[in-house]
Amino acid sequence: MMRFLLLLILPFLFTGLINKTKALVSGRKGASVFQPYFDFIKLLKKGIVISETTSFIFQIAPSINLACMILAGLLLCVFHFEGDFILFAYVLALGKFFTVIGAMDTGSSFEGMGASREVSYTSLVEPAFFIIISSICAIGHVYSFDSLFKILSFNHMTWVLIVILSVVALFLMILVEGSRTPVDDPTTHLELTMIHEVMVLDNSGVDLGFIFYANALKMLIFTTLIASILTPHSLWGYMVVLFIIAVLIGIIESITARLRLTHIIEYTFILITLALMVMALALLTMYETGAKGRKYDYFSNLPCATSPSFSVAKARRLPVAVHLLTSETDTTAKLGKAVFSSYAGVSSGGMI
C-alpha cells in the first residue's frame, strides 16, 4: 500500500528529475525538481477552453485516462489475483483509447495524425509486454504480478539473463509509452514531428493538468514494474530504482536525437526481440527444472494439450499457438498457452 501511495505522489518528481538531469548535462542549472508540481497546480487554477466542434467525449477523456492510470497502479501495487496483468493491460488500453478518441473528436487533422501514430507504435509494444510478463509468470507458476516479486528467489542459472533482458525491455517501454526521446520529443513545437504532444493541443486548464499527470504516472507505473523485479520488498530500493531510471532517461535525452518516424518501427522491434529471448530462456528454465511431463492448469479453461478432451477447435482463437498447444512437450504447451491465450484476448485493440 505504501508503494501505491508513493506512486501517486512521485510522478511529477520523476519528471522533475529527468528535466534536472537534462539541464545539468547541458551545463545549465535548470529549474527545481519540484517545478512540475508548481506547473500542475497552476493548470488546476486555470479555466478550460472548449472548441465548439467537440462533443462530451473530449471533455471526459482526460479524466477517464487519469482514472485508468490510477486503477492500473492499484492492480500493480495492491490488488493481486490470477490474470491481473491482463486486466492491467486492458485498463491501460482503455485510457489510451479515450485519449485517442478525445484527440480525434476535435476534428483537427494534426491531432488525428498524432492519434494514428500513437496507436501504431504502442500496438507494437503490446506483444513484448505480454510475452515478458507471461514468461515470468510461467516460470514461477503464479499467473499474476506476484511472480515479479519472486523471480529473484529463483536459483536457476538463467534467471540473471531473464532479469536483465526484462528490465531492459521494460525500460525501452518507458521511452515509448512516456513519449520520450528517441521515440518522441516532449518539448517539440513542430506539429508534423509530434506524436503524443500533438494529441493534446486543444486541451487546457484542468484537463491539460490531468493529461500531464496521467502521462507521468504511466512512466512511473512501468518504473514500478522494474522495481518489482529488482527490489520487490524494499521502499528504499524502489526510490533508488526510480532515481536511477529518471537519471538514465535524462542522460539519453541529452545525448541522443529523436529518431525519424520511419525508424521508430525498427526501434519497437527491439522490444519484441528481447521479449522472445526472455521466452526462450523461460522455456529452457522450465525444461531443465523438471516441468516436462507435468499437467498444469492454465489461464483459460481450455484443457491441457495432452488431455483427451482437448480439441484444436477450442484453440480457434489462438491460431498462432495451435502447434504449441498440440506439441508433445507439455513445457512448451504451458508457456505457449500462458503467452498466447493472454495475448489473443487483447490483440484486437491497442495496449497501453
Q: Does residue 267 belong to any structural domain of this protein?
A: yes
For the chain, 352 residues long, the average pLDDT of each consecutive 10-residue run is 92 96 93 96 93 92 96 93 92 94 90 88 87 87 81 72 93 91 79 79 93 96 93 90 96 89 85 93 82 40 40 39 41 46 45 44
- pTM, 2 dp: 0.80
Q: Does residue 330 belong to any structural domain of this protein?
A: no
Q: What count of other Cβ atoms lies within 10 Å of the Cβ of residue 200?
A: 21
Q: Does residue 215 belong to any structural domain of this protein?
A: yes
- In which domain, by residue range, is 14 found? 2-294
Q: Does residue 340 belong to any structural domain of this protein?
A: no
Q: What is the pLDDT of residues 58-108, one digit of tens each?
A: 999 999 999 999 999 999 999 989 889 999 999 999 999 999 999 999 988
Q: Does residue 347 belong to any structural domain of this protein?
A: no
Predicted pLDDT at 187 = 77
Q: Does residue 243 belong to any structural domain of this protein?
A: yes
Nearest-angstrom CA–CA distance, 241 and 231: 8
Predicted pLDDT at 343 = 43
- Calculated CA dihedral for residues 35, 37, 41, 44, nearest 10 degrees: 110
The tally of domains found in the chain comes to 1
Q: Give which of 302, 301, 309, 345 is closest to 324, Cα–Cα.
A: 302
Q: What is the pLDDT of residues 5-57, one digit of tens each?
A: 999 999 999 999 999 999 999 999 999 999 999 999 999 999 999 988 899 99
Predicted pLDDT at 286 = 83
Is the CB of residue 36 less than 8 Å from the CB of residue 216?
A: yes
Side-chain-side CA neighbours of 20 within 13 Å: the count stands at 15
Give the Cα-Cα-Cα angle 286, 287, 292 (nearest 5 degrees).
105
Q: Does residue 338 belong to any structural domain of this protein?
A: no
Q: Does residue 343 belong to any structural domain of this protein?
A: no
